[in-house]
Amino acid sequence: MKHADHVEIEMKFRIPALGPARLRLEACGFALAHGPCGEVSVLWDRDGELRSQGCALRLRRYDGQATLTWKGARVPDPLLKIRPELETSVGDPLAVEGILGQLGFSPAFEMRKSRSVWRRGPLEACLDEAPFGCYLELEGTPEEIREAMGQLGLDEAQVEPRSYVTLFQELA
């Protein structure tokens, strides 16, 4: 979900398994929007310029689709991940790769995981399975996220503050 002011607000939870989480999402009125499907995300950078600013440029491929996303530096918050974000669908990912290359960007990091996306009104829930575990992300307003946390039986002890990039790098 992208807010009108182009700010992403989310919270990621480490969960023991996807199956029970799917059942809880259904019981709480979430509907499957797409997936599960494999997802490949490639971060692009220009000599570490974006990373040094706390930003990211990602080309994501999933379910026959592709998106290009710019993420700005994180706003400090103990639990929520809040950061500016601009995202658009991409018709020709190979052309976008060529454009990025011509602009001096190169692939800096690749991540692979399985993702399914669920929605309940404006709130989005993603179930992710990566080589290092299972996660549930909630994206919406802080109020929507906290309400869903309670309904889904999630608590702050399950919050994973690290990014997927950090988790993948720690695995390597």
User: What are the domain boundaries of the chain?
Assistant: 7-171
Q: Which pTM does this prediction carry?
A: 0.89
Question: At 169, is the pLDDT very low, low, confident or very high (cuts 50, 70, 90)?
Answer: confident
Give the chain's radius of gyration (CA, Å): 16
Contact by Cβ (8 Å): 80, 9: yes
Tokens of 25: 């999402």
Number of Cβ within a 10 Å radius of residue 60 = 19
Question: At 1, is the pLDDT very low, low, confident or very high (cuts 50, 70, 90)?
Answer: very low
Give me the CATH topology for the region 7-171: Hypothetical Protein Pfu-838710-001 (2.40.320)
Rounded to the nearest integer, the mean pLDDT of the chain is: 94
The per-residue pLDDT for range 82-129, each reduced to its tens digit, is: 999 999 999 999 999 999 999 999 999 999 999 999 999 999 999 999
**CB neighbour list of residue 11: distance below 8 Å, 6 or more residues apart:** 79, 80, 81, 137, 138, 145, 149, 159
